[in-house]
Amino acid sequence: MLRVGYPAAIAAEFLRDFPLEVELIPLPDDLDHEVEIDVWLPGVFPAEARRLWPHLRGVRLVLALVAGTEWIPPITGPGVTICNTRGAGNIAPAEWVISAILATLKYFPFYLDVQRSGQQWAHRAEANDHYARITGDARSFYPSVTVEELTGKRVLLVGHGAIGQEIERMLTPFHVELTRVARTARATPLVHAFGELDSLLPQAEIVILILPLTAESRGLIGRRQLALMPQGALLVNAARGAIVETDALMDALNSGRIRAALDVTDPEPLPEGHPLWSCPNLLLTPHAAGTCPQFTPRALAVALHNLRRYLAGKPLKNVMQTAI
């Protein structure tokens, strides 16, 4: 019987569709003895997976519950096949990206600060000052500026996989001017290559990062790229923190050059007292964009589909590493 190890934190109700010909082995985070399994469904947190791996024996197949699997090969080595759950977690992070953009452009963090301070709404006039300061637009507006619009903005979407395509779909009603960038250029739809990024950044009012962390993408957005972005541009990172050089980002935020919305950081988790916490023009969430109530059933459904294929001797889907 095939032995499948899974995070013990997953409730049994989510596992009821697994076939009878497999034995499900719950793996607690504090596992302290060796366990023999054939298939491993690691949890979503790398630190937990690293603690578990030394106690696991016989693993031939890893069915990750996430799309980003770059952290798994350093744990397991090359001797296992690794599959991800591409397509299962598209909606929540795409919604986070749209929400983060709208929250920033509608000045929700500012208005929440005013609300919590118990001050009068007369302070809303400061929103106009913020707009002038961050965008460099010093024109006199009547009435004064209290929000900005997403509609019609020039958006640079860096990463055009399953989540990137979902973000594009959600942006469609806003009639943005969308430019796509990915590792490899494509003609239909038009997708530019990474090598063209520097020439595209100066026209981008919003830059969205939703690409895997690889040797090529690590540090893709550094000091030069941030300087190329227009005054007041919004950088949205829902990918991996190390795609952006943190020191360069903090300098750009502190100088009032750009604004940012981050669900990921480098380092992560962000240590207490790190200077990024206090940067202005920043909306920060704790890598929470994808963990909605629908996450577990969707991820398990993709993993289960691959498990059934494995049992039937069929080729696996979403293979990120083939065992050597």
Residues 278 and 301 in one domain: no
Q: Residue 139 domain-assigned?
A: no
C-beta separation of 64 from 39 below 8 A: no
CA dihedral (140, 141, 145, 149) positive or negative: negative
pLDDT at residue 67 greater than cutoff 90: no
In angstroms, the CA 29 to CA 49 distance is: 8
Exactly one of 268, 274, 305, 308 is catalytic; which is it? 268
**pLDDT at residue number 123:** 86
Local confidence band at 121 (pLDDT 50, 70, 90 cut-offs): confident
For residue 195, give the H/E element and its range. none
Which DSSP letter does residue 55 get? Answer: G
Is 186 known to be catalytic?
A: no
| Window from 49-53, 116-120, 311-315 with minimum mean pLDDT | 116-120
Is 309 known to be catalytic?
A: no
Q: Residue 142 domain-assigned?
A: no
Rounded (5°) CA angle 21-24-25: 145
Instruction: Provide the β-strand partners of residue 207.
Output: 156, 235
Residue % of the chain over a pLDDT of 70: 100
Helix ranges, 211-260 (H): 223-228, 246-254
Could you read off the pLDDT of 237-294 as tens digits, one per residue? Answer: 999 999 999 999 999 999 999 999 999 999 999 999 999 999 999 999 999 999 999 9
The CA distances from residue 226 to 69, 142, 221, 236, 260, in Å, are 27, 32, 7, 12, 11
Residues 185 and 301 in one domain: no
Among 200, 260, 197, which residue's Cα sits nearest to residue 232?
A: 260
Residues 100 and 233 in one domain: yes
pLDDT at residue 120 greater than cutoff 90: no
Residues 54 and 156 in one domain: no
Among 155, 242, 264, 140, which residue's Cα sits nearest to residue 201?
A: 155
Residues sharing a CB contact under 8 Å with residue 129, sequence separation 6 or more, in sequence order: none
Could you read off the pLDDT of 12-59 as tens digits, one per residue? Answer: 999 999 999 999 999 999 999 999 999 999 999 999 999 999 999 999
Task: Quickly list DSSP for 254-283.
Answer: HTTS-EEEES--SSSSPPTT-GGGG-SSEE
pLDDT at residue 80 greater than cutoff 80: yes
**pLDDT at residue number 24:** 97
Residues 71 and 98 in one domain: no
Residues 227 and 308 in one domain: no
Is 305 known to be catalytic?
A: no
Residues 64 and 186 in one domain: no
The total number of structural domains that make up the chain: 2
Q: For strand 282-284 and strand 259-262, is the pairing parallel, antiparallel, or unpaired?
A: parallel
Residues sharing a CB contact under 8 Å with residue 29, sequence separation 6 or more, in sequence order: 7, 8, 9, 43, 48, 51, 52
The structure tokens listed for 131 are: 């707009």
Residues 43 and 102 in one domain: no
Residues 241 and 260 in one domain: yes
Local confidence band at 68 (pLDDT 50, 70, 90 cut-offs): confident
Among 130, 46, 93, which residue's Cα sits nearest to residue 62?
A: 46
Q: Residue 118 domain-assigned?
A: no
Exactly one of 160, 180, 240, 298 is catalytic; which is it? 240
Q: Residue 124 domain-assigned?
A: no
Residues 272 and 161 in one domain: yes
pLDDT at residue 151 greater than cutoff 90: yes
Residues 252 and 202 in one domain: yes
The CA distances from residue 25 to 9, 11, 35, 68, 166, in Å, are 12, 13, 9, 24, 34
pLDDT at residue 119 greater than cutoff 80: no
Q: Which domain holds residue 296?
A: 2-88+292-321
Cβ burial, residue 317 (10 Å; 0-12/13-18/19+): middle
Q: Residue 136 domain-assigned?
A: no
CATH number (domain holding residue 155): 3.40.50.720
Could you read off the pLDDT of 180-232 as tens digits, one per residue? Answer: 999 999 999 999 999 999 999 999 999 999 999 999 999 999 999 999 999 99
Instruction: Provide the β-strand partners of residue 57.
Output: 36
Residues 82 and 98 in one domain: no
For residue 188, give the H/E element and its range. none
Q: Residue 190 domain-assigned?
A: yes
Q: Residue 123 domain-assigned?
A: no
